[in-house]
Amino acid sequence: MTAESTLGLTAAAEARLDEYLAQVRRALLGVPDVNSAEIEADIREHVENELRGAVRPVEQLVLEVVLRRLGPPTQWLPPGRVPVTAQVGAAAMTFGQFLKARFRAAREAIWRGPEDWRLAYLSFGVFAFGVIAFPLFPLCLVVSYFLSRAGVAVAADKGVTLDVGRKWLLYPPVVLVSLVLTLGVVTAPIGMIIGTVDEARSADAFERWHLAGEPTTVSSWGRPTTMRMSDREVRAKFPEVRTKLDGLLAAFPVPPALREVAAVGFLSVGVLSAWWGVLGLVAGAVPWLVRGLFFPLHGVFCGRRAGWLGTAALVLLAVWAAAAYRLAEAVGLI
Amino acid sequence: MDADFLANWTTQMRKGLLELCVLTVLRHRRMYGYDLAKTLSVVDGLVTGEGTIYPILSRFKKDGLVETTLVESAEGPARKYYQLTDRGRQLLPKMRAAWAAVRDGIEAVSQAEHLR
């Protein structure tokens, strides 16, 4: 957690402001003729204006003076209005009443703003609709993601620190899309490795079959068929056949049973170091791209560290490439 | 007991009059919410907390008496300015007339009691 908030408050002052705003929300909960989200935004603007010339970070004591001038939240109700919490008692407030009040607040925010709250409710609404109407979920996820990003950006632009409630509204699509992107980044090289291993096995099976004289299978009546013999059968019937891959695997200084594992491990090191090398250098060169893609979850992403990761991975790749060259040379591939 | 009653009565009376003052200040020009709060807070006895005007503005907006306009600001994010709507403009003289009648009535009662 950083010591300063977007308003330039200390952590203690920020917590105090959040508490004050929570009191405002509680006081205005269920009051139909005001828009509590808009009022909250007005208060934040007011505080921001009051603290414009203050020394940063702003201490809690300085903030207290501003809040005292603003007045206690309980006084903010329109004439004759009693807050819901006072009407039914905080403990006695039923879940239905709470939901009704929240629904009213959402409707108000969607129709009247302010924009950061409007976007928060819209985003959550589209996301929830996608969950209910599941075939539409991918489309809803994309729409709610962009609405969330816009909501977070507007709040940041206004210097508003998102409270827990708004995070719950804005973050689900952002977290989900970021998770998918992260999984994509992490699993892409694994996919490459699996694909390469699969391709090498297929090529090796074909080469072995070819070297064995392209044998076909024999039916249960002993008649030859036109079907190609399986790799397992070729290996069993023609153990003397040696492929290029066999020669390559034999170069690994491990017991024969572990050669394939060692080869896959060796290939993984190469692919992963190449992947992270390129990724690290790109992320290091354009950190704003990473911050932009994963905002606000990776808003503090450090480009220099990514650069170091990329450099280290490329050094490892160079060592790997040298070893791979010597290996290929040893088995006569080059 | 008396102090509580007085405080409550004063608060209710002040809130009603503050609504009239908010509309009056907006009669000739649009204003930034913060400036409006500051303008009214310097009037003795009118505002207990500067924030009191925000729920009033929110309610006026919902009632269609004021509307807001976002205006770009060189000092930071766009500012929300409040201005009277036609409805607010039509209602204001009637509210002022009602207030003048109440004020004159109170004055008349006080003077009559004084002369007795």
pLDDT tens across A221-255, in order?
A: 777 778 888 888 898 989 898 888 888 888 888 88
Residue range A85-115, pLDDT digits in tens: 554 444 455 667 667 766 777 776 676 666 7
CA distances from A326 to A159, A242, A275, A334, B82 (A): 58, 20, 22, 9, 77
At B16 the pLDDT is 81
Test A112 with B62 for CB contact under 8 angstroms. Answer: yes
Cβ(A102)–Cβ(A89) under 8 Å?
no
d(CA B84, CA B68): 9
User: Does A153 lie at the interface with B, CB-CB under 8 angstroms?
Assistant: no
Q: Is the pLDDT of residue A204 over 50?
A: yes
For the sheet with B66-73, list strands across it. Answer: B31-32, B76-84, B66-73
Q: Is the pLDDT of residue B19 over 80?
A: yes
Cα atoms found within 13 Å of the Cα of residue A150, Cβ hemisphere only: 16
Q: Is the pLDDT of residue A160 over 60?
A: yes
pLDDT mean over A288-292 = 82
Cβ(A130)–Cβ(A137) under 8 Å?
yes
User: Does A53 lie at the interface with B, CB-CB under 8 angstroms?
Assistant: no
At B27 the pLDDT is 92
At B99 the pLDDT is 92
At A2 the pLDDT is 35
Test B58 with A38 for CB contact under 8 angstroms. Answer: yes
pLDDT mean over B63-68 = 92
Three-class SS state of A224: strand
Comparing A83 with B48, the larger pLDDT belongs to: B48
Take residue A121 and report the two structure tokens written for it: 């409710």
**Where do we find the tokens 């929570």?**
A22
Which of B11, B62, B77 lies at the smallest CB-CB distance from A33? B62
Mutate to test the interface with A, among B54, B68, B69, B70 (most CBs of A within 10 A): B54
Angle at B107 between CA B101 and CA B113, to 5 degrees: 135
Q: pTM higher than 0.95, yes or no?
A: no
pLDDT mean over A251-273 = 90
d(CA B86, CA A156): 34
d(CA B91, CA B68): 18
Q: What is the ipTM of this complex?
A: 0.84
Test B52 with A33 for CB contact under 8 angstroms. Answer: no
Q: How far apart are the first and last CA of chain B?
A: 30
Task: State the alpha helices, DSSP H only, in chain A.
Answer: 11-28, 36-50, 60-70, 84-88, 95-112, 115-132, 137-157, 164-211, 231-237, 244-250, 259-285, 287-294, 303-330
Chain B contact set for A45 (CB, 8 A): 33-34, 79-80
At A94 the pLDDT is 67
Cβ(A295)–Cβ(A301) under 8 Å?
no
Which of B11, B49, B80 lies at the smallest CB-CB distance from A70? B49
Cβ(B45)–Cβ(B10) under 8 Å?
no
pLDDT mean over A312-324 = 94
Q: Is the pLDDT of residue B87 over 80?
A: yes
Averaged confidence pLDDT in chain B: 86
Residue contacts between A and B (CB atoms, under 8 Å): 75
At B70 the pLDDT is 85
Residue range B50-62, pLDDT digits in tens: 888 888 898 899 8
pLDDT mean over A248-277 = 90
In this structure, of A157-171, A198-212, A217-231, the range with the lowest mean pLDDT score is A157-171
Residue range A67-83, pLDDT digits in tens: 988 888 776 655 455 55
Confidence band for A3, pLDDT divided at 50, 70 and 90: very low
Closest B-chain CA to A43: B51
Among A291, A69, A140, smallest CA distance to B48 is for: A69
Confidence band for A298, pLDDT divided at 50, 70 and 90: low
pLDDT mean over A157-182 = 82
Confidence band for A6, pLDDT divided at 50, 70 and 90: low
In this structure, of A203-212, A213-222, A275-284, B18-27, the range with the lowest mean pLDDT score is A213-222
% of chain A at pLDDT higher than 70: 85
Cβ(B84)–Cβ(B26) under 8 Å?
yes
Test B50 with A28 for CB contact under 8 angstroms. Answer: no
d(CA A304, CA A310): 10
pLDDT mean over A6-26 = 83
Confidence band for A299, pLDDT divided at 50, 70 and 90: low
d(CA A121, CA A109): 7
At A1 the pLDDT is 36
Test B49 with A39 for CB contact under 8 angstroms. Answer: no
- Nearest-Å Rg of the Cα atoms of chain A is 32
